[in-house]
Chains A and B, each alone.
Chain A
Amino acid sequence: MKDMTDALPGLARVREKFLSLLEDRCGKIVEYTLAAWQATEDTEKRTHLTGAGTILHQIAGTAGSLGLQDLGEAAQSCEQAIIDFMDLPNAPPEMCSHIIMEINSFVTCCEDQLTRTGSD
């Protein structure tokens, strides 16, 4: 729905830049998530998840406009899981597991996209 690639000819270049940043962004999200998983203090856990959420928020905000709807939706789903966790003062541990699973799906989605881009 939000794909602007046909409407804006210069968008191919922006999409290329987005994809060139994706691997690095994806790596940072994984780092933050693992750090959150290993954190023993709740504050530390939330700090790492906020870091992951910020990057996911950026991806969710642009992927759809660049013709990458699935990736954008996967990022949005992860971001929402993090927001839900943050909204609860004493979030149960299974919520953190849910975030890990969501991020795992997102990373798979990123890898698929980057593989497709590499083979194009």
Chain B
Amino acid sequence: MKILAVDDDPIILELLEQFMLSVGQHDLTTAQSGAEALDIIDAEAGETYDCFLFDIQMPSMDGTELTKAVRATPEHVDTPILMLTAMSDKGYIDEAFAAGATDYVTKPFEVFELKARIGLVEGLAIARRKDAKKIFDTFESKFAPLNGDPINTLDLHQPISIYDVENVIDHMAMENYVAQLSRGALFGSSTFAFNIRNVVTLHGKLTPFEFYSLISDVSEVVSDELKGRQFLMSYAGGGTFVCVSENGWKPDAHQLMDSVNLRLAHTELFNNAGQRLDIRVSVGDVIRLIWKSGASAVNAVAHAHSSAESASDAHEKSMYDFWLQEKYA
């Protein structure tokens, strides 16, 4: 992998050089500031890095600002960014994830931990290239008629990266975020999920590009609805968006569902043939993450995910049952 590491401490950069030498197969470039890193990226326009390692706390431009700047370059909208942090302060980590970080490693790091993270990132970089190809290879088919024969190469259950929507992060980043935070750091956090009703039918009818656009539009609507709250959200696949809210805010699921659906109704979403899409979501259980950490926190997110799917199924079933009910005068 071609990696760019940025840290104001030359000792960290030398440590990383030694690490890369021992692991091999990686081409490491280093910079001591955010400005220097951006100059390097600019000078190599057209060339892409496979992975970035950014220190969070740096003078002038910190790692979070640098992440935002790098995410604004078309070549690196989804390049994995691993944050290096010596801080346990969750506020910095939350900001870094919201800015587009994929994962983080706590300093001082150890060789096996770093090796494992880089290995995960390498797998992610390969998967990203394939996913982007799937979506944009079929760009031409976006004008296919709704009832035509859309080429569905985008799997319904695969997580999709959403860009430029506030506080919406990659799903892998969300899993990394939840799995690594300590019990104390998750004290004021809750998790819940939204599921798009009838998503299987929608996925079957829409082209991959239309489906991708739908997911992106719904995430924007939800993000707008949650504006003013501290939260992170990701698209987990299967029409489900998972959220982690902070600062003790635990939403009322029904109220939230109604307000998101009202906003969706006002947004008026269409397919590429100009036909209106009637999109509604269901919200599942809202779960506090108090005293949960690691795997149990990830399980809580998984439960929020499945309960949102169940809520959608229950809603569809109730609609179906309504028509089967005996009618009385």
Binding site for B on A (CB under 8 A): 1-4, 7-11, 13-14, 17-18, 21, 54, 57-58, 60-66, 72, 76, 83
Neighbour of B108 across the interface among A17, A54, A72, A83, CB < 8 A: A72
Q: In this assembly, does B59 line the interface, its C-beta being within 8 Å of a C-beta of chain A?
A: yes
Neighbour of A18 across the interface among B11, B21, B110, CB < 8 A: B11
Residues of A contacting B: mostly: helix
Known: A57-B86, A61-B9. A11 touches B18 (CB 8 A): yes
List A contacts of B295 (CB < 8 A).
Answer: none
Beyond A7-B110, A11-B18, list 9 extra A-B contacts (CB 8 Å): A2-B108, A8-B111, A10-B22, A18-B11, A60-B107, A61-B9, A61-B86, A62-B107, A65-B15
Least CB separation from A72: chain B residue: B108
Interface size class of B (residues with CB under 8 A): 20 to 34
Q: Mark B14-40, 1 if CB is under 8 A from A, else 0.
A: 110011011000000000000000000
Q: Mark B106-122, 1 if CB is under 8 A from A, else 0.
A: 01111110000000000
List B contacts of A9 (CB < 8 A).
Answer: 22
Counting chain B CB atoms within 10 Å of each CB, which of A10, A21, A58 scores highest? A58
Q: Is the CB of B11 within 8 A of A62?
A: yes
Q: In this assembly, does B57 line the interface, its C-beta being within 8 Å of a C-beta of chain A?
A: yes
List A contacts of B22 (CB < 8 A).
Answer: 7-10
Least CB separation from A53: chain B residue: B57
A-B pairs with beta carbons under 8 Å apart, 26 shown? A1-B110, A2-B109, A3-B110, A4-B19, A4-B111, A7-B22, A7-B110, A7-B111, A8-B15, A8-B111, A10-B22, A14-B11, A14-B15, A17-B11, A18-B11, A57-B86, A58-B11, A60-B108, A61-B9, A61-B86, A61-B107, A61-B108, A62-B9, A62-B12, A64-B107, A64-B108
